[in-house]
Structure 1
Amino acid sequence: MPKEEVVTVTTKGQITLPSEIREQLNIKKGSRMVVLIEGGWIFMRPVKRLSELRGILKETGKTSEELVREIRQEWDEKLEELT
């Protein structure tokens, strides 16, 4: 089930992610994040290291294009659930 938190945007346009979320997703100082804007929503997730992504590709036996297509479909489904 999605967890919703309220954060405040600073004058510099920054937000602080709650510590529980940072711990759950292993987000540390200097972690890079992907930000996606879709239909009035902002989605964020940590950037995977290239070595992790290579391992995922090997394990699934799928091409990067297939994985991207599946991920986009999952994002669309999640967005539909939230709206």
Structure 2
Amino acid sequence: MFDAQYTLTESIYAKEDWGHSSHIMGVELAMRAGVKHLCLFHSEPTASDEQLEQIESSIRRYAHLHDKSYPLKISQAYDGLEIDM
């Protein structure tokens, strides 16, 4: 589980002291730590479903381009989501 409320640009330039992170930072950290399943939560409350889908798509592309051999599963948390550990 990783708090990924903002885009990388927002988390660095516009809201760097707001206490939240970005999805790109989550992917980077997960890959360095050897995580198998990265679940992002605390999405921007004003984001539409379409915007969240675009973000998830860009995250997957980034992870794949970053390391094509690393099988990182990426999902976004939602109300009622259950993950078996």
| Fold agreement, TM-score > 0.5 | no
Relative contact order, CA 8 A, sep 6+: which one is greater? 2
Rg larger in structure: 1
Question: How does the TM-score come out when normalised to structure 1?
Answer: 0.32
